[in-house]
Structure 1
Amino acid sequence: MHMNSAPHLLAEDRAEFERVLDDALRHAHERPELAAIGQRLNATQLRTMALNATALISTAASAEYEHYRKIREEARAPAVTAGGQGSAPDAAWSDGNGAGFAAVIAVLAPVLAATAAVIFLLAGYLLKMLDPTPSFATPLVSAGWFFAALTAAAILVAAVGLLLTALRNGATQVPAEELTGELPDEVARAKDAWRHALLERGILPFLQASLADPSADPTSTAPPRHVSRIPKVGYSGPEYSSPSEGSTSGQRPTFTSPDFTSPDFGGPEHQPE
């Protein structure tokens, strides 16, 4: 019984599969077993056939891929924990609701103050044009200039708040070079092992089988007939067979029951001999 099930490639690993495939096709001229490329099937057709058989090809390196995924997830776990937000109630309030409320105030305060300043100044100066001038025209103008000053102060506070927020986020942000830097050594080794197994046990045998199969159709999603040359990954149970007829170990032993006889009983004068 063979166990050939392999995990489906994650979206982030499909691009790596294509890179290994493209690299194999790019250097196909260095491999004698792929010298037939271009005679009946070209590199583009072989690439299409291999992409259609991604699940089948990746099965050949399922053990290495499982190990690579496990090591990669373990390496990512501490980074996610360290980059997560605190779970304390006060931290959640200050980072969530507090930040949202402050942002609303920073946006609305200058707008409301500027609107009030325009209304009071416009009404006050219009009233001053009347003859006689109403007594409340001067207070309206004073209120308008007060809201104008409040508008300038609100804009200044909002600008300072945005600057402080940018500085705080810049201090806690992961640098770009850390995100695009090299993988940890253990993860890199696991990735290289998967790529090597994928190339040697999956992609190259598939390409050889496709070139050797005269009925291979590059437009078909079915694998070539000789694709069984790709090594199978899994375990097979032991085979049991009955012993040959001529072997003596196959003969069944015979048993005979022992003979039991009852003792001769008699009177005291007849003792058994």
Structure 2
Amino acid sequence: MHMNSAPHLLNEDRADFERILDETLRHAHDRPDLADVGQRLNAEQLRTLALNATSLITDAAAVEYEHYAKVREEFRTTAAAPVGSSVLSPAVQGTAETGAGLAAVVAVLVPVLAGAAAVVFLLVGYILRMLSPVPAFSDTLLTVGWFFGAVTAVGLAVAAAGLLITALRNGATQVSAGQAEGAWPDEVSEAREAWRTAVLERGILPFLREALAAPGVEPAPKVRPARHLPKMGYSRPDFSSPDDGATTGQRPTYSSPDFSSPDFGGPEHRPE
């Protein structure tokens, strides 16, 4: 079944298509319908023809490929989404995202503000302690300063832990385009295998059979060992027939003797 609007083969799946084609051509002689490979067309010629007709071949498995691409994209979207976002309504999810953003802001601001307050209170408290007499509230300033110092330390620890958890979560849920085959869930792996089988049985094999059976296909060239006469160290003489034209030297000239019969001679030869 051919579809008029077949999905375009993605770049990440072209390598998969080429692997199927190469594997088929590598074991072509194990298939009776491809036993003529190498007689009319060799494997490299067939591979070139098939790659040029990739869209036509993959169109035969368009339904399976559309399903495979769909379930794969759904898995990637689900894996990349935050945990729990798929079960929340849009309003609740928006509230959760707002709360998470506010918590991140607080986690950043608390250590900064607490640290600044700790520095101010401790600095003023110790300056007052150098006065004589020592003001009574200097101890209070130092106590407040150390309190804000503790808050700063706790805030930094919480922020560092949050960053670490976020990094680990993103690393665990990140799915790359070239993910290994064994990492796909069963649904994606089954859809991928169904597409591979369909594109082989309904696309690649019929195309190769038609290419081998085409009447206008020239036989594949066969390499034959060149046969040359051994060189003996001399060349044949340059003979030429009298009709060859120009000559290389001057030919000797001669003329026949000037004989004449008694009837055609002069009077001095006539008998008395």
What is the TM-score with the length of structure 2 in the denominator? 0.53
2:50 corresponding residue in structure 1: 50
CA distance in 1, matches of 2:17, 2:150: 63
2:64 corresponding residue in structure 1: 68
CA distance in 1, matches of 2:208, 2:132: 95
CA distance in 1, matches of 2:103, 2:7: 46
CA distance in 1, matches of 2:162, 2:15: 42
CA distance in 2, matches of 1:122, 1:214: 95
Pick from 194, 197, 202 the counterpart of residue 197 of structure 1. 202
Q: Within 5 A, what are the aligned runs for 1:222-241? A: none
The DSSP-based 3-state class of the residue aligned with 2:36 is: helix
1:218 corresponding residue in structure 2: none
1:35 corresponding residue in structure 2: 38
What is the TM-score with the length of structure 1 in the denominator? 0.53
Deviations 1:115-147 (A, max 9, x none): 322333234324434556566644432322110
CA distance in 1, matches of 2:65, 2:129: 78
**Measured at CA, do residues 5 and 123 of structure 1 come closer, stay the same or move farther in structure 2, by a change above 3 Å?**
same
1:180 matched to 2:184 = yes
Contact 1:71 1:186 in 2 (8 A): no
The DSSP-based 3-state class of the residue aligned with 1:33 is: coil
Deviation larger for 133-142 or 146-155: 133-142
1:90 corresponding residue in structure 2: 92
**Measured at CA, do residues 135 and 213 of structure 1 come closer, stay the same or move farther in structure 2, by a change above 3 Å?**
farther
CA distance in 2, matches of 1:202, 1:6: 20
CA distance in 2, matches of 1:7, 1:93: 41
User: Percentage identity across aligned positions?
Assistant: 40
**Measured at CA, do residues 74 and 49 of structure 1 come closer, stay the same or move farther in structure 2, by a change above 3 Å?**
closer
CA distance in 1, matches of 2:94, 2:3: 48
CA distance in 2, matches of 1:116, 1:48: 73
Contact 2:57 2:199 in 1 (8 A): no
2:8 corresponding residue in structure 1: 9
- For residue 15 of structure 1, what is the amino acid of its counterpart? A
Contact 2:118 2:146 in 1 (8 A): yes
Q: Which runs of 5+ in 2 are unaligned?
A: 79-83, 221-272
1:101 corresponding residue in structure 2: 102
Please state how far the C-alpha of 1:87 moved relative to its aligned partner: 1.9
Aligned length, in residue pairs: 203
Deviations 1:187-240 (A, max 9, x none): 44464233321221125544776x93479xxxxxxxxxxxxxxxxxxxxxxxxx
**Measured at CA, do residues 4 and 132 of structure 1 come closer, stay the same or move farther in structure 2, by a change above 3 Å?**
closer
- For residue 153 of structure 1, what is the amino acid of its counterpart? V
Pick from 201, 212, 221 the counterpart of residue 217 of structure 2. 212
Please state how far the C-alpha of 1:93 moved relative to its aligned partner: 0.3
**Measured at CA, do residues 98 and 185 of structure 1 come closer, stay the same or move farther in structure 2, by a change above 3 Å?**
closer
